[in-house]
A and B are shown apart, each in its own frame.
Chain A
Amino acid sequence: MPTTGPNVPFSNGPAAEQIVKIRETLLMMASLTDRNLSLAMRSLVDRDEKLAASVEAEDSQLDELEVAVDELVINHMATHAPVATDCRFMLVASKISSNLERIGDQAVSIARRSLELNREPLLKPLIDIPRMANMAEGMLRDGITAFVDRKPELAQGIIKRDKEVDMINKQLARELTSFMLEDPTTITRALNLTIVARCLERIADHCKNIAEEVYYLYQAVDIRHERAAGA
């Protein structure tokens, strides 16, 4: 294990305490985000309205934690002027928290769509959407693992997985469009499913962003906006 860096306290001083606090807050956010995404998907798959309501209720906690991370980051930067890994950690912590909060917002959108979808019969068996959700959840968990365990190579692998989620989303959009063309009474349900798929695609994008930030944190190389071939 490394003996220094943002994940390992180097002393009992206030700087170390603040870094540990930021890290713990981020992990709390990640855990809550993961839970909300799972609840939102279960509310859709199991047609459970209570679960959908709980997602919306818990989202405010994520909002508060995002603000808390930014406050901790700005306080640390103002008082300790961090450099090198610590400096990158501050930038990355703020961006990861922002992405987690947005994943939380997408989970709320899924929960709202599921409330509407659950009022009507299923348009089609839910296969691709849970598959997308599994992939997005896997990307989120691996991103956080890469962050905690200092594994930039794991983070790099996540970036390629985003393309697969994008492909399923496009395929699903085409399929749902054909439903709507064939039978206009399916439009509301098909649109809601399209929105859910779109939310999952956006979640995968946020997971990719997190992975890029984790890679930058540990390798000091910015791999955003690179083509897949060069990534």
Chain B
Amino acid sequence: MSQTSPTTMMDESTPNTQTAEVASPQNKPAPAVEQAARLNAPTVIDINNVDFHYGANKALHNIHFPIKEKLVTAFIGPSGCGKSTLLRCLNRMNDLIDDTRVSAGSIKISGVDIYHPSVDVIELRKRVGMVFQKSNPFPKSVYENVVYGLRLQGVNDKSRLDETVERSLRGAALWEEVRDRLHSSALGLSGGQQQRLCIARAIAVEPEIILMDEPCSALDPIATVKVEELIHQLKQDYTIVIVTHNMQQAGRCSDVTAFFYMGRLIEIDATEKIFTNPSQKQTEDYISGRFG
């Protein structure tokens, strides 16, 4: 299949004038205007011409686009397209896999190259939290799961820990369900509750960015709705990047969608645009279920 240059309508240097001029008769901003304004948010993660290798195998080819502040950006694409690889590049989780490397380009978070030798990876992962496909609570109490990151940092002040537990569990929309069993084992929670606990654990250390790698793929529809509602709330405070195989989830949850195919970024645009009128035929074929 032929490859084409990705479209990046979010580029601040080329604003989407077509949508920006639209206004409703009541002088309220039309959805297209609100959308354009959202997409002009400041850049938090700047991915510049990134290549990535697993040994001799090049998994990412010249990936280049910005991720905007306090928006939900979804990565979609068929298995093996590189979306999870790119996600793991954003907090250097790939460093844990042998013989892998970012072989070209740079990834800057708030202007700092995260692959620079001076960068403290532990500090980076505090700023860029991650939630995995399968919930992975530690075999500890709900409380200890949430404060785990703080305890690693040496925080033992009980009042601060208590405050963090409540704030984080409220932030993860779990407080009301577990407030009476904070000291019970986290393994006794349902799958959806465990995943929200993992989100609470991620936000307890007050990250700037939350990465989610198929966070709902192991959840039932009701738990999925709760996590999706949570994502919607969390974007008030955090920049979220989510990898999902569920097209409808990408459509429901995200502001921006990036479509990858065979290690290349094919198209990135406002989610509404991607799901109503994508610029690239490959994108349309994928989201319509014609391949993948």
Contacts and interface: CB of A to CB of B under 8 A. Distances in A.
Interface string B52-96: 000000000000000000000000000000000000000000000
A52 to B, nearest CB: 44
Given A220-B276, A220-B277, A85 B284 contact: yes
A81 B285 contact: no
Nearest to A15: B289
A83 B285 contact: no
Interface string A82-97: 1111111000000000
A87 B284 contact: no
A87 B290 contact: no
Nearest to A11: B290
B132 interface: no
Interface in B256-292: 275-278, 281, 283-285, 287-290
B151 to A, nearest CB: 44
B290 A4 contact: yes
Contacts, number: 37
B276 A86 contact: no
A84 B288 contact: yes
B290 A81 contact: no
A82 B287 CA distance: 9
The B interface, classified by DSSP as helix, strand, loop or mixed, is helix
Contact of A85 (B247, B248, B288, B289): B288
A86 B277 contact: no
Contact of B247 (A4, A10, A83, A220): A83
Contacts of A82: 288
A84 B290 contact: no
B285 A4 contact: yes
A46 B33 CA distance: 56
A81 B247 CA distance: 9
B287 A83 contact: yes
B276 A10 contact: no
A87 B276 contact: yes
Interface in A37-87: 80-87
Contacts of B251: 83
A230 to B, nearest CB: 13
B281 A84 contact: no
Contacts of A10: 285, 288, 290
Interface string B130-171: 000000000000000000000000000000000000000000
Given A220-B276, A220-B277, A84 B289 contact: no
Contacts of B288: 4, 10, 82-86
A87 B276 CA distance: 7
A84 B248 contact: no
Contacts of B287: 83-84
Nearest to B247: A83
Nearest to B285: A4
Contacts of A85: 284, 288
A9 to B, nearest CB: 10
A214 to B, nearest CB: 15
A144 to B, nearest CB: 23
Contacts of A81: 247-248
A220 to B, nearest CB: 4
B286 to A, nearest CB: 10
Given A4-B284, A83-B275, A84-B277, 6 more contacts: A4-B285, A4-B290, A81-B247, A83-B288, A85-B288, A88-B277
21 contacts: A4-B281, A4-B285, A4-B288, A4-B290, A10-B288, A15-B289, A80-B289, A81-B248, A83-B247, A83-B251, A83-B275, A83-B287, A84-B276, A84-B277, A84-B278, A84-B284, A85-B288, A87-B275, A87-B276, A88-B277, A220-B276
Closest 4 CB pairs between A and B? A220-B277, A83-B275, A84-B284, A10-B290
